[in-house]
A = this chain, B = another copy of it.
């Protein structure tokens, strides 16, 4: 009768996805690595997140010349330590699920692999080391540990607002790109290569820098006509700035209102929720509703 427990989970459930072994060491390992509800699982996840944060710090610090000169070898050693630890974790993850291939091809599976590959790859091509930063994506796990149900609710609402506005924003972006191409071409003609507008792509780069109000100042109009066109474009861009803001805001305000309704009235006959404050009969079963009371 009560079909609430069978509701499809919105988030990601490793249990359903990858399968949990029935017995033995693999089951124990699974409980530690994949489950966040048990004490051991929570400790493991916390240690993992701290390790990831420290390893990202090492990658970032290693890119600073003065630090690399003094602590270069320590950094390299630490980096190899992290890589081996994460590699071991990756193998353990693969080993303790029923469907390793499903894990390897899942979002986090790919991220986990990509977060160790650069170190090995850097043995061949040294520049690859900086891509160890991809580890930051692993931090998305953090939301799982902290059991931030509230945060997740906000996240879900943000995502819904963005998805609901997605189409409008796409239409809007396509209009912006057209404006960028047209203004870029016009400025390329008006200002010309001698003022820094060396090609249409360069002029489009300038148009984006200007319309987004970033305004580096590395390319600026020098002719009077160019300055007039640029001024017009800035005012246009400024007005346009209002559009995507308005889109998302209206969407979020509408979601908030939509979200508030379900918490109001419940039908005593069929237990359906979300009736309007002024409704007199249940819109699901037609039973007369008790008077609405503001609490």
Contact = CB atoms under 8 A, between A and B. Distances in A.
**Range for the number of chain A residues in contact with chain B:** 35 or more
A218 interface: yes
A185 interface: yes
Interface stretch (A10-18, A76-84, A125-133): A125-133
A210 B235 CA distance: 11
Interface in A85-141: 127, 130-131, 133-134, 136-137, 139
Nearest to A227: B205
A254 B256 contact: yes
A101 B61 CA distance: 44
A36 interface: no
Contacts of A181: 56, 60, 133, 136
Interface of A: 56, 59-60, 63-65, 127, 130-131, 133-134, 136-137, 139, 150-151, 154-155, 157-158, 161-162, 167-173, 176, 178, 181-182, 185, 188-189, 193, 198-202, 204-205, 208-210, 212-218, 220, 224, 227-228, 230-231, 234-235, 237-239, 241-257, 260-262, 271, 273-276, 278-289, 291, 294
